[in-house]
Structure 1
């Protein structure tokens, strides 16, 4: 009986390499768009969390606590299965961008909030004295200083985001894991499919993980 990694199974996989290449490219595109959305949401809600206005801080906590304390799988299923019942039909790719981007936006919001709060409050007060508004002070004075502290954890979030795109396989998301599942289900050659899929995820995540560690070391040296 042939083993799970028999040579003919590898030959079959390499002959169908375009299936995995398509999923790989879809994962890259999905990751880029979801990361962009998560950064926008993270910066916005992170700044709300540092506001002097209580209701804005409450909005920040509602978003962060709800997203962080419910599984990403449930959020994806909600967007995919529940929204159509209220007349909102979204392509599965858009569901992936919104679901993964919104999920990681909550974590990035906490990174941004922590980075902003690490900057002495006197910096913000000095900006106010020069006529800056709250948002102006944040954009021009505080955030440029906070970004150095926030870069390492933000890079780690990018790694997690790429890996979490794999949950879309459960709703036929068209990304790498979905293509691997579909191909291996049709051929029953699971071993090669998942090894190659793991290596492709590794090729995306490992450089970012190394870069994050480099940023952390540089931050330690500079501090």
Structure 2
């Protein structure tokens, strides 16, 4: 009888110890997952294909967005007093950087590289039309008109890694269309790709200058 009791106690102890280990493993696994999630945005500060970014016009302080009708505008400002308004348009201000030649690529993006930009909200690509320098967000596939080359504003040096700053994960860039003209807003807030390159204009006053902020 004593042997049976000792055996039973031993089994209870082993079972409790095993459950404790399981709980510890589960807890450790959960913490690891949480840490991985927290580190997702604090990983490499170099721009890579696959990054999701906003495209913010530095000079006018307005966001590039795709509209429901396929138009592209640069006329949305962040509204702190009525944040619900931001919830309506802000999803259409987020774009995924895609490698046109390898859409699954996660390689570094360097100055002079070709990129395509796909709106997260509707999966349409930004397109520079061949007439009137117009820009739309209404293409379902990547062709020549959906390709853009990324540079530093006022600088057409190629091959440099693009680095996100430590504040807001943002990088100053300019975007050149397949027609060799640069993205910027017109007077009415529509997006156009009709601006020439001007190496004499400083970054801070350059109308071709955008902040790409990693989301």
Q: Same fold (TM over 0.5)?
A: no
Query: Per the shorter chain, which TM-score range?
Result: under 0.3
Where is the strand percentage greater, Structure 1 or Structure 2? 2
Q: Tell which structure's C-alpha radius of gyration is larger.
A: 2
Where is the helix percentage greater, Structure 1 or Structure 2? 1
TM-score, normalised by the number of residues in structure 2: 0.22
Greater length-normalized contact order (CA 8 Å, ≥ 6 residues apart): 1
TM-score, normalised by the number of residues in structure 1: 0.21
